[in-house]
Amino acid sequence: MKKDEPMFGKVAVLGVGLIGASFAMAARKRLLCREISGFGRSRENLMAAKARGIIDSFGSDPAEVCMDADLIFLSSPVGAFTDLVRRASPSFRKGAIVTDAGSVKGNLVYEIEKLMPPEVSYIGGHPIAGSDRSGIDPARAELFEDSRCVVTPTKKSDKASLEAVIALWKAIGCRVITMEPEAHDRIYAAVSHFPHVVAYALVNAVAEVEPSFPEYSGQGFMDTTRIASSPPDVWRDICLLNRENLLELITAFQGRLDMLSRYLRASDSGSLEREFTRARTLREGIGQN
């Protein structure tokens, strides 16, 4: 690649929502490609993305959209990844790279790897960026700037493709780290997927006690439950694909709630305060190392 040439000729974005549109905008802003084609469930959304200059073209067939693409970027809900790859892969050109922004890796990485045609590489990725809003309206080129991006190679990963994906995310403004797919899922079950489950359950539990209570919310409840506004279909897929790690965390959380229940029933103020102090110390220590 010459100095002034973009990293990729054509980029195909399969899933032009918040993440896919922001990725396309970031790639265009940084001159990382010449052309961007999009695929999604809503023609109206794709037309709006084209009108805004987020994508150059779009289609209703993922194979058509991926024709001649140097980079295929999966940014639909993760539950659709394997079906999209099966539908699109007949048109993948030799030398193409497939990557993604999925919040789950684990077994999914190995499943997608097996679907790659000869001389096409897949490298898993997960930019730690997003919003509780969805669609192209909140999309922006700066979404990924100074965010962490986890890249999850396997023993079968092509070295040149891995280096290209790492370089891509760095060019977009991310701080890139690599780890095994299984390690990724255990970590992000704890710090991302499980908090979403808790937020959804918390809102539903309060409304179950009394439907009118959420109307009296202050900033604390709103801050704690903000992520319960996230798209349900996206988080349905994530939770099902990472269910074993989530079930372990739910069991641990139930144990903590049971313990707090015992302290409350016994009016054990000392134990309650010690538990809250421990949590506060842990929370305030995040990012200090």
Query: What is the domain-level CATH number for residue 50?
Result: 3.40.50.720
Rounded to whole angstroms, the Cα distance separating 195 from 270 reads 27
36-79 pLDDT per residue, tens? 999 998 999 999 999 999 999 999 999 999 999 999 999 999 99
The SS3 call for residue 250 is helix
174-216 pLDDT per residue, tens? 999 999 999 999 999 999 999 999 999 999 999 999 999 999 9
pLDDT reported for residue 288: 78
Rounded to whole angstroms, the Cα distance separating 51 from 58 reads 11
Rounded to whole angstroms, the Cα distance separating 68 from 139 reads 26
Same domain? 33 vs 134: yes
Same domain? 135 vs 266: no
- List the domain range (segments joined by +) for residue 202: 183-284
Same domain? 192 vs 252: yes
Provide the CATH number for the domain around residue 240.
Answer: 1.10.3660.10
Structural element, H or E, at residue 12: strand 8-14
Rounded to whole angstroms, the Cα distance separating 36 from 23 reads 10
The SS3 call for residue 206 is helix
Same domain? 154 vs 220: no
Q: Looking at the domain assignment, is residue 289 inside a domain?
A: no
Same domain? 90 vs 192: no
Q: Looking at the domain assignment, is residue 147 inside a domain?
A: yes
Same domain? 23 vs 165: yes
- Work out the percent of the chain whose per-residue pLDDT is above 90: 91
The SS3 call for residue 58 is strand
| End residue of a domain, out of 133, 162, 179 | 179
| End residue of a domain, out of 144, 163, 179 | 179
231-286 pLDDT per residue, tens? 899 899 999 999 999 999 999 999 999 999 999 999 999 999 999 999 999 999 99
Detail the DSSP E strand segments found in 133-283. Answer: 148-152, 175-178
Sequence-ordered list of residues with C-beta below 8 angstroms from that of 201, at least 6 positions apart, any chain: none
Give 135's pLDDT tier (boundaries 50, 70, 90). Answer: confident
> Domain total for the chain?
2
Rounded to whole angstroms, the Cα distance separating 24 from 81 reads 18
Q: Which of 173, 95, 158 is closest to 124 using CA atoms? A: 158
pLDDT reported for residue 289: 64
User: Is 1's pLDDT higher than 60?
Assistant: no
Same domain? 22 vs 135: yes
Rounded to whole angstroms, the Cα distance separating 249 from 193 reads 10
Same domain? 216 vs 258: yes
| End residue of a domain, out of 179, 202, 235 | 179
